[in-house]
Structures are given as C-alpha cells and as structure tokens.
Chains A and B, each alone.
Chain A
Amino acid sequence: MSPTSHLTPDEIVERVFPADDRAGAVPEHLATCAACQGSVAALHDAWLLDRGAVSGAVDDLPASFWEAQAAATMASVRASAPADAPVPGVVVFPSRVRGILRHPALALSSLAAALLLVGGLSLLRSGPTAPPVQRAAVTASEVREKTPVAVNDASDDELLVSVDRALEDSSLAGLVVEEEL
C-alpha cells in the first residue's frame, strides 16, 4: 500500500478486528486520511454499538429473571442428580431397604407370596396327604425290630440313628416333602 492510497476493506476490518492480541502498526495513510479514519471509526462505532447492545440486553434483565433462571436450572440439576447420591446429614438406607421403600407394593406382594408358599407347605406337611414325611420318618428302633440280629451290627445302628436324627429336623423333612411334591 502506498502512503497515498486509501485503506482496502480488508485493512479497515483488520484495524477494528485484529486477528492478534495486538493491533498492527497504524498505516501511514490512515494517520492523514480523514476518509479512511471515518471508515474505520464507522466500523468501530458499529461494533461498539453491537457489543453494547448484546451486553446491555443481558445486563439490563431484571433480578427476577436471574432468580427464575437459577431456580429452573437448580431444579433441572436436582432432577439429573443420581438417585443414590449421598446427601450430607442424611442416613443412607442399605440398598435392600431402599428397594422396599421405592417399590412398597412390589415388596408387599412378594412377602404375601412367600407367606402363601410357606402356609401351603405347612398344610401339606400337617394334613392327611403328608404320607411321605411319615414314610420317611422311620425310626431306628423300628429298623432294629425288623432287621435280623445277625445284620444289626454297631455301625449300621449308628448310621440309622444319625439318619433318624436328621429326619427329625423339620427343615430336612420339608425338603423331603418338596421332593415328593
């Protein structure tokens, strides 16, 4: 650019919007040309106008706007917080208890089903249709009575006594019933 030629549009834009942190040196022509100074000033003014407009439009918003925005934002933040996030000062239930608290209907129906099953099994055990338990609960003394003396050695006797004890255990008896069922 010769000192006498006017600034190009690129140069005018570069004066106002430099691509670097520091604006370049002022062209010699600009220092003396009122027309070019006017062009640069017009763009600069317009930029300030635009910058002031956007900044002012936001800064002039009333406090109620910011309060509402903060409240809405925090509501979304709370909603997006993980459900099992620990909250200071709050006792956290173990996961099993939390499951019951979250789905009480499901927990209660599971409990009812379990009670029904236990009740049903008890009825089967105690009612007339429980011969498997009776049949299984053959005592060692009965075995001894029905077994010839020659075969009734000590080891067999111990084995039968232990089986007898085991069958007296109700839980194992229940297992027998279940297997029969």
Chain B
Amino acid sequence: MSVDERAAKRELESGILSRVVAGDVDAFEYFVVTYQKRITRFVYTLLRDPGEADGIAQDVFVKAFRALPEFQGQSAFETWLTRIAINAVRDHIRRKRPVVSFSELRAEPDDDGPELPAAFDPADGTSPERDLLSRDIRRRIAEALVSLSPRQRAVFVMKHYEEKSIAEIGEATGLDEGTIKSHLFRAARKLRERLEDLR
C-alpha cells in the first residue's frame, strides 16, 4: 500500500470512527469486516486453536468498540487493534495456563497442526524424506512458539509470520527496539533448543 493510499485509508477510517463515537454503532461493522481476517489469522498463529481464534477475534472487536473513546488516532486503527489483540491473547494465555500444560500438547505425536492447503506446501514435489523432515521441523516450530511467553510470541509472529518491521512491532506493542530484539533473540534460542538435532 502506497503512502497516499495509507493516508486516504486513515482519513476514511477517521470519518467512520467519528460516526461510531457519535452513536452510529452500525458504522463499526466496517472495521469488523475489514480486519476480521487479519485479526483472526494473527490470533490463530499465536494460539493455534481455530475455536479460540474465532472467539478471541470477536472479543478484540468488542473491546476495541468499548475503548473507542480512548483511541487518540495517533496510530493507525489496525495497529491499535493489533495491540488489543496482543493483550487479549496474553490475558487468554494467563487464564488458561493452569488448565492446559505444554506437556499435554506435546503428548500428541500425530498432531501436525492445521491441514495445509496444497498451494502453501513448500515440500510439495520434493522427496518423501524431505517432506517428513519439513513436517517434523514445522511441528517443532509450532511447539516452540506455544512455549514462548505471550509477548515473545507476539513479537516473533509479527516479525516472522506477518513480516512487520521492528518499528511497526514497536508501534503495535509499545516496546522499544532493544526489547523487541531481545524478545526475538530469546524466541530464536528457544526454537534452537527444540531443533538441537537439526544438523
């Protein structure tokens, strides 16, 4: 998206936000429809549970709606929404932590995560051994991701799954560059621990 397009979008959204704040609740549907995929995907990448991703994505919009009077418009609405999503996932993980342990998740050897559409399968067309290795590593990446702290997880996903820059991550999380890099480094270290036998 070009700078002009981004500015136009921000202006459009600012106008819609004004309508919502003035009482036009239905106008909020624009934000739901525009960002529901992006937020659901983000939450799903963090939690790896479709049901939870759906429920939390809905909560994110409701929380955003309730907090609209506090939105200053200093960042893009999408960035603000992402921050709400990160907090919602963090709260969810904190609430859930005593109930489901990571060891329980690891106890499922056949769990390869969600079904992979053929178009997204980079192992397609290569040898069966390489396919198997890829799937095994992928499972371990997913496990490593789930073992990260909520903040590390959010930073890692934004950087390596959403391809956000350090500056964009900083805007969404409120963290400074050094802290973000530290989170990324620790996340990579945990990943490496799970991939110790890679070589």
A residues in contact (CB < 8 Å) with B: 6-7, 9-10, 12-14, 17, 19-21, 35-36, 39, 42-43, 45-60, 66, 69-70, 72-74, 76-78, 80-81, 85-88
Please determine whether A54 and B44 come into contact, CB atoms closer than 8 angstroms: yes
A58 CB contact (under 8 Å) in B25, B40, B135 = B40
A48 CB contact (under 8 Å) in B122, B156, B196, B199 = B122
Q: Check: B62 CB closer than 8 A to any chain A CB.
A: yes
Please determine whether A54 and B61 come into contact, CB atoms closer than 8 angstroms: no
| Cα A21 to Cα B185 with chains together (Å) | 13
**Per-position binary interface string of chain B over residues 133-155, scored 1 when its CB falls under 8 Å from any chain A CB and 0 otherwise:** 11111101110000000000000
* Chain B interface residue count, Cβ-Cβ cutoff 8 angstroms: 64
Please determine whether B192 and A13 come into contact, CB atoms closer than 8 angstroms: yes
Which chain B residues in 11-50 approach chain A with CB under 8 Å?
Answer: 19, 22-26, 28-29, 32-33, 36-37, 40-41, 44-45, 48, 50
| Cα A85 to Cα B53 with chains together (Å) | 30
Please determine whether A45 and B122 come into contact, CB atoms closer than 8 angstroms: yes
The chain B residue sitting closest to A92, CB to CB, is: B23
Q: Check: B166 CB closer than 8 A to any chain A CB.
A: yes
A70 CB contact (under 8 Å) in B19, B32, B121, B199 = B32
A67 to chain B: closest CB distance in Å? 9
| Cα A82 to Cα B33 with chains together (Å) | 22
Please determine whether B37 and A78 come into contact, CB atoms closer than 8 angstroms: no
| Cα A45 to Cα B133 with chains together (Å) | 10
Q: Check: B165 CB closer than 8 A to any chain A CB.
A: yes
| Cα A87 to Cα B188 with chains together (Å) | 50
A38 to chain B: closest CB distance in Å? 9
| Cα A77 to Cα B191 with chains together (Å) | 39
Interface stretch among B74-82, B85-93, B109-117? B109-117
Q: Check: B7 CB closer than 8 A to any chain A CB.
A: no
B187 to chain A: closest CB distance in Å? 8
Most buried by A among B48, B50, B134, B196: B134
Please determine whether A56 and B116 come into contact, CB atoms closer than 8 angstroms: yes
B184 CB contact (under 8 Å) in A19, A47, A53, A59 = A19
A43 to chain B: closest CB distance in Å? 6
A88 CB contact (under 8 Å) in B22, B58, B130 = B22
The chain A residue sitting closest to B25, CB to CB, is: A81
Please determine whether B122 and A52 come into contact, CB atoms closer than 8 angstroms: yes
Please determine whether B40 and A69 come into contact, CB atoms closer than 8 angstroms: yes
